[in-house]
Structure 1
Amino acid sequence: MRHTLPLAPQFYVTAPQPCPYLEGRMERKLFTSLQGEHADQLNDSLSKQGFRRSQNVLYRPTCADCNACLSARIRVADFKPSKSQRRAFNKNSYLQRAATSPWATEAQYELFREYLEHRHADGGMADMDVFEFAAMIEETPIRTRVIEYYAPPTPDAPRELVATCLTDLLDDGLSMVYSFYKPELIKDSLGTYVILDHIEIAREAGLPYVYLGYWVPGSKKMGYKARFSALEVYQGGHWEDLLDPEAYSPDAHPLEAEPIAQQVAKIDLPDTHGTRPAAPMKPKTEI
């Protein structure tokens, strides 16, 4: 009798390094390579289990004594914007959206550098040069789009790129890998608008979720994510509604994290041998 075996990627753990979200903590990541003909299926499966993509790597925090980082996603069908979010959407509705293939441009890099210098000058990407930026955008083995937002042209100036989001297309939603925008437009809540627009794109395409990355209780950098309704977080091996952000604690404890071997053993991998991959959901709107 012939048996089918699941795709079996190798998992590794990074060395500890300072946590970018909580002061005084050290972080580690569990990661695996994303490559080959079944990359889309692996990305779809692991994204539903709290992993995130960075170029051709999938990773998930696996800190020794802390499990504060929680993967977050918005349930599109149940999302209701707040008054401030409606204001942000209306204020930025003049912007023109353009969805392109994952190809880096000079205009994107200039906007990226401006964003980092004003918002994350001491972050891990501060020293990223143009070649590393191009790799971030272009090195993707899966279905990825660059969603750009332009201020329309005026009699005195051509149209201007004001925001960009690197977005993965999953079988159940959109994953916002990384976004950046003109820092002087923070007063217009442009970052919020980009998320709201992705919710609209997902709704039009019939996709149930928008993945936002990690929400970290106690981190001011990540606090904005908890302001979106219908937010789910991945904890304890399942997705649950984020009802009260204050109920989640960033406190560390030496027994919080499971051993790495147990974590890896619980990862559900896609079966890609001997069976035909399931057809992806056909979007109602081309992305």
Structure 2
Amino acid sequence: MTELARLKFYATQAHPCSYLPTEQATTLFLDPSQPMDAQVYAELSEVGFRRSGDHLYRPHCQKCSACVPARLPVADFKPNRQQRRILSRNADLQVRAVRPAFSEEYYDLYARYIEQRHADGDMYPPNREQFSTFLVRDLPFSRFYEFRLGGRLLAVAVTDVLPNGLSAVYTFYDPDEEHRSLGRFAILWQIAETARLGLHAVYLGYWIKNCRKMNYKTQYRPIELFVNQHWAILT
């Protein structure tokens, strides 16, 4: 194992929180001179770190602990009735793993998704540079999982394949296909893929109890939260 105590980290100045408008946030980053190594990344994910672009980070707020790392241990997961319906509804999709790269097809889908689903967020309005910096990183462990109906691209799950599981970085999808519940299906597919690969968990990023957009994460059970420096099942 890596000696994590030897790694260097840097904290940002306080800035407006993306999730809780009344709060100020501080973020802890791994020193960007540290190579983006899958083993280091996996070990940091065990203590709540995530990837955004070329950076590994974790919330480091002094007065707020609302952002709670969440993961799904796949061995014990059983889809509920609604999730089984979503799986059935999307059984006609084909999934292919490719290395991250920029294409107009990807960007057009991403832009429509942001414009229609997240126009109130800090990623609006979308642009090509933002898309590339955030998601199109040629890292050995990163994948674009394409979800297609025939040749038509419906969704992309940007996912990191790590020694301890899959880290769900971001998913964007066709906002006109609402009936398919593509965001939820992408999570269900990643759960199945994690089990197929013999890995432990899907890392879902941060759950925030008072943030409506984060509530979907607790619909997958059992879900573990990283609280007081250890993972515990949410009851």
TM over 0.5: yes
Aligned to 2:45: 47
AA aligned to 2:7 is P
The answer to whether the 8 A contact 2:114-2:125 is kept is no
User: Alpha-carbon deviations, 1:64-105, whole Å to 9, x = none?
Assistant: 211011111111000011111111111011111010011121
Shift of 1:136: 2.5
AA aligned to 1:213 is G
Aligned to 1:99: 97
Q: How far apart, in 1, do the equivalents of 2:88 and 2:56 lie?
A: 35
Q: How far apart, in 2, do the equivalents of 1:235 and 1:138 lie?
A: 31
| The one of 11, 15, 33 aligned to 1:17 | 15
AA aligned to 1:52 is R
Q: In 2 relative to 1, CA 80–5 (structure 1 residues): closer, same or farther, beyond 3 Å?
A: closer
Aligned to 1:29: 27
User: Alpha-carbon deviations, 1:110-133, whole Å to 9, x = none?
Assistant: 000000001111212214421331
Shift of 1:55: 1.6
SS, match of residue 188 in structure 2? helix
Q: In 2 relative to 1, CA 9–162 (structure 1 residues): closer, same or farther, beyond 3 Å?
A: same
The answer to whether the 8 A contact 2:111-2:127 is kept is no
Instruction: Give the TM-score of the pair, scaled to structure 1.
Output: 0.77
Identity %: 39
What does 1:146-161 correspond to in 2, within 5 Å? 146-152=144-150, 159-161=151-153
AA aligned to 1:222 is M
The answer to whether the 8 A contact 1:111-1:182 is kept is yes
Aligned to 2:77: 79
| The one of 180, 185, 190 aligned to 2:177 | 185
Shift of 1:26: 1.4
Q: How far apart, in 1, do the equivalents of 2:55 and 2:36 lie?
A: 14
User: Alpha-carbon deviations, 1:175-215, whole Å to 9, x = none?
Assistant: 01011111122232111100000011111111110111111
Q: How far apart, in 1, do the equivalents of 2:204 and 2:4 lie?
A: 28
AA aligned to 1:81 is P
Aligned to 2:208: 216
The answer to whether the 8 A contact 2:52-2:134 is kept is yes
Q: Which runs of 5+ in 2 are unaligned?
A: none
Q: How far apart, in 2, do the equivalents of 1:48 and 1:8 lie?
A: 17
Q: CA RMSD in A?
A: 1.8
AA aligned to 1:202 is T
1:234 has 2:219 as partner? no
Shift of 1:18: 1.9
SS, match of residue 110 in structure 2? helix
The answer to whether the 8 A contact 2:52-2:135 is kept is no
AA aligned to 2:17 is C
AA aligned to 1:168 is D
AA aligned to 1:74 is L
Shift of 1:139: 2.5
User: Alpha-carbon deviations, 1:30-64, whole Å to 9, x = none?
Assistant: 11135555622210110111000112211111112
Q: Which runs of 5+ in 1 are unaligned?
A: 153-158, 244-287
Q: How many residues get paired?
A: 234
Larger RCO (alpha carbons 8 Å, 6+ apart): 1
1:172 has 2:164 as partner? yes
Q: In 2 relative to 1, CA 5–166 (structure 1 residues): closer, same or farther, beyond 3 Å?
A: closer
